[in-house]
Amino acid sequence: MSGKQFDVIVIGGGPGGYIAAIRAAQLGFATACIDEWKNDKGGPAPGGTCTNVGCIPSKALLQSSEHFEHAGHAFADHGIGLSDLRIDIAKMLGRKDGVVKQNNDGILYLFKKNKVSFFHGRGSFAKAGESGYEIHVSAPTEATIFAKHVIVATGSNARALPGAPFDEESVLSNDGALRMPAVPKKLGLIGAGVIGLEMGSVWRRLGADVTVLEALPDFLGAVDQQIAKEAKKAFDKQGLKIELGVKIGEVKAGKKGVAVAYTDAKGGEQKLEVDKLIVSIGRVPNTVGLNAEAVGLKLDERGAIVVDGDCRTNLPNVWAVGDVVRGPMLAHKAEEEGVAVAERIAGQHGHVNFNTIPWVIYTSPEIAWVGQTEQQLKAAGRAYKAGSFPFMANGRARALGDTTGMVKFLADAKTDEILGVHIVGPMASELIAEAVVAMEFRASAEDIARICHAHPSLSEATKEAALAVDKRTLNF
């Protein structure tokens, strides 16, 4: 046997993989992490989809475009006048790339700090032996390394529409959507899910005429429908055109743009002609290049690695986490699984509570939730109480000039245990953390209602929504 022996090899350096590697190293294991992502100079760019073409760059563009929209629309209300308002797209994209690079470099620094050996290249299974697994690393680094434990965290790729492959020129995945060199006059998006709404918002704020075509009849079907309706009202007002219940037909991409034939909800034949089309219809698990067959690693019909509740695969000491396995495709879910697996390898009781994984959609208003929706509770026949509080009645929201939306609590009818919290409105992404903590500690709505919240703050709306469960709001 030649090549370095490790205790743990992690394949994939996205949030699932790099966090698993750091935690394994913290626990005293000799750990390697292999990641193949390249930056534009061909160098390593760890951080996966999240850092390179996902969470981080999308939030950078959401921030830039929100500043632009505020400067154009909201500043005047504050008595701030601007003339000659312009957007320099190249500069905005450059800033976004800078933020991405800071994160790539930060992960390389963390690997050094924690003594994780980083290999830049593709990792694939070669064979399983008595002392563990042989892993090949190829292009740009060539190496053969060994470990008793392997954690697979190879993530996911954008799903293409049949007959309309991504060319990243006119038919764009999330990758192309994050680096359009100019604002398209007309932009189409297929899929009104998380990416459709976030990317649609970015380019609408910058001046594109945006139409989103969604197959399902309900807007954001997985979201509490009261919250989804409130969000839809806000998006309609902003001019984000969302058509529900459509059936996409032929997509023709040419030099001048893209034509999308579709049937609308009433059965009418329609055509959408746009300069650019973003396809955001979900993502598929990525095991390309892993050579799973060499060791008999089991995949399901969607191509996801089959794991149990603890991220164990069908092979001894091979684990898989993040987007490449079942469950929500979220960076923080991937991270939690990575930590839990490293701790299980160390004989500890790593744990992920799937009931308290928060979701956030970073539109304006932001949408965030944790736990069950009202429609899920009804379907399960669970007796519940609901309470909500509008930001319109919150002093801080008025001062901010952002009073759209509400906080909504759902609690068990008998025990008052919080079953779900749903927010649409300003800073929902931050406010949801309190609800996650409360649910993790199995708090009651009354617990939140009795906690002192700073005044004036948006979090007072959370307290008031908890009071509303017992029908005793103080400010509404």
**Would you tell me which residues interact with ligand FAD (CB under 6 A)?**
11-17, 34-37, 48-50, 54-55, 58, 122-124, 153-156, 174, 195, 286, 289-290, 322-324, 329-332, 334
Shortest Å distance, C-beta 63 to ligand FAD: 12
Distance (Å, whole) CA 47 – CA 176: 18
285 binds ligand NAI (CB under 6 A): no
Instruction: Say if residues 133 and 292 touch (Cβ distance below 8 Å).
Output: no
Shortest Å distance, C-beta 106 to ligand FAD: 15
The residue with tokens 């394994």 is: 24
192 binds ligand NAI (CB under 6 A): yes
Which window, 95-103, 109-117, 214-222, 409-417, contacts ligand NAI (CB under 6 A)?
A: 214-222
The residue with tokens 């002093």 is: 395
Instruction: Say if residues 264 and 400 touch (Cβ distance below 8 Å).
Output: no
Which of the listed partners (ligand FAD, ligand NAI, none) does 120 bind, with a CB threshold of 5 to 8 Å by partner kind? Answer: none
Per DSSP (E only), the strands in 184-246 are: 186-190, 209-213, 241-243
193 binds ligand NAI (CB under 6 A): yes
Distance (Å, whole) CA 221 – CA 425: 18
Instruction: Say if residues 48 and 24 touch (Cβ distance below 8 Å).
Output: no
- 304-310: long-range contacts (C-beta < 8 A, 24 or more apart)? 305/152, 310/340, 310/341, 310/344, 310/350
Distance (Å, whole) CA 146 – CA 346: 18
Closest to 289 in 3D by CA, of 37, 26, 18: 37
Shortest Å distance, C-beta 75 to ligand NAI: 27
Shortest Å distance, C-beta 345 to ligand NAI: 26
Which of the listed partners (ligand NAI, ligand FAD, none) does 448 bind, with a CB threshold of 5 to 8 Å by partner kind? Answer: none
Indicate the DSSP class of residue 134.
E
Per DSSP (E only), the strands in 17-131 are: 31-35, 116-120, 122-129
- Count of Cβ atoms closer than 10 Å to residue 109 Cβ: 10
Query: Quick one: tokens of 4?
Result: 């370095």
Which window, 13-21, 139-147, 184-192, 231-239, contacts ligand NAI (CB under 6 A)?
A: 184-192
Which residue number has the CB closest to ligand NAI?
Answer: 193
Distance (Å, whole) CA 393 – CA 9: 53
Pick between residue 58 and residue 313 the one whose CB is nearest to ligand NAI. Answer: 58
Residue 328: half-sphere exposure toward Cβ, Cα within 13 Å: 18
214 binds ligand NAI (CB under 6 A): yes
190 binds ligand NAI (CB under 6 A): yes
Instruction: Say if residues 46 and 13 touch (Cβ distance below 8 Å).
Output: yes
Closest to 221 in 3D by CA, of 182, 193, 184, 254: 193
Which window, 4-12, 60-68, 193-201, 293-301, contacts ligand NAI (CB under 6 A)?
A: 193-201
Instruction: Show contacts with ligand NAI in window 93-132 (CB under 6 A).
Output: none
Pick between residue 163 and residue 282 the one whose CB is nearest to ligand FAD. Answer: 282
Ramachandran class of 203: left when φ > 0, alpha when ψ lies in -120 to 50, beta otherwise: alpha
195 binds ligand NAI (CB under 6 A): yes
194 binds ligand NAI (CB under 6 A): yes
Site string for ligand NAI, 359-388 (x = CB under 6 A): -xxx--------------------------
Pick between residue 55 and residue 147 the one whose CB is nearest to ligand FAD. Answer: 55
Which of the listed partners (ligand FAD, ligand NAI, none) does 216 bind, with a CB threshold of 5 to 8 Å by partner kind? Answer: ligand NAI
Which of the listed partners (ligand NAI, ligand FAD, none) does 48 bind, with a CB threshold of 5 to 8 Å by partner kind? Answer: ligand FAD
The residue with tokens 């650019």 is: 276
Which window, 22-30, 74-82, 194-202, 380-388, contacts ligand NAI (CB under 6 A)?
A: 194-202
Parallel/antiparallel/unpaired status of strands 247-253 and 143-152: unpaired
Query: Quick one: tokens of 43?
Result: 């160098």
Residues contacting ligand NAI: total by CB under 6 A: 23
329 binds ligand NAI (CB under 6 A): yes
- The sign of the torsion formed by the CA atoms of 42, 147, 136, 336 equals negative
Please state the length of the chain: 476
| Enzyme catalytic residues | 455
Which of the listed partners (ligand NAI, ligand FAD, none) does 406 bind, with a CB threshold of 5 to 8 Å by partner kind? Answer: none
Position among 108, 116, 213, 367 found at the interface with ligand NAI (CB under 6 A): 213
Instruction: Say if residues 173 and 32 touch (Cβ distance below 8 Å).
Output: no
Which of the listed partners (ligand NAI, ligand FAD, none) does 295 bind, with a CB threshold of 5 to 8 Å by partner kind? Answer: none
Shortest Å distance, C-beta 337 to ligand FAD: 8
Instruction: Say if residues 410 and 421 touch (Cβ distance below 8 Å).
Output: yes
Distance (Å, whole) CA 277 – CA 260: 9
227 binds ligand NAI (CB under 6 A): no
428 binds ligand NAI (CB under 6 A): no
Residues binding ligand NAI (CB under 6 A): 190-196, 198, 213-216, 248, 280-283, 328-330, 360-362
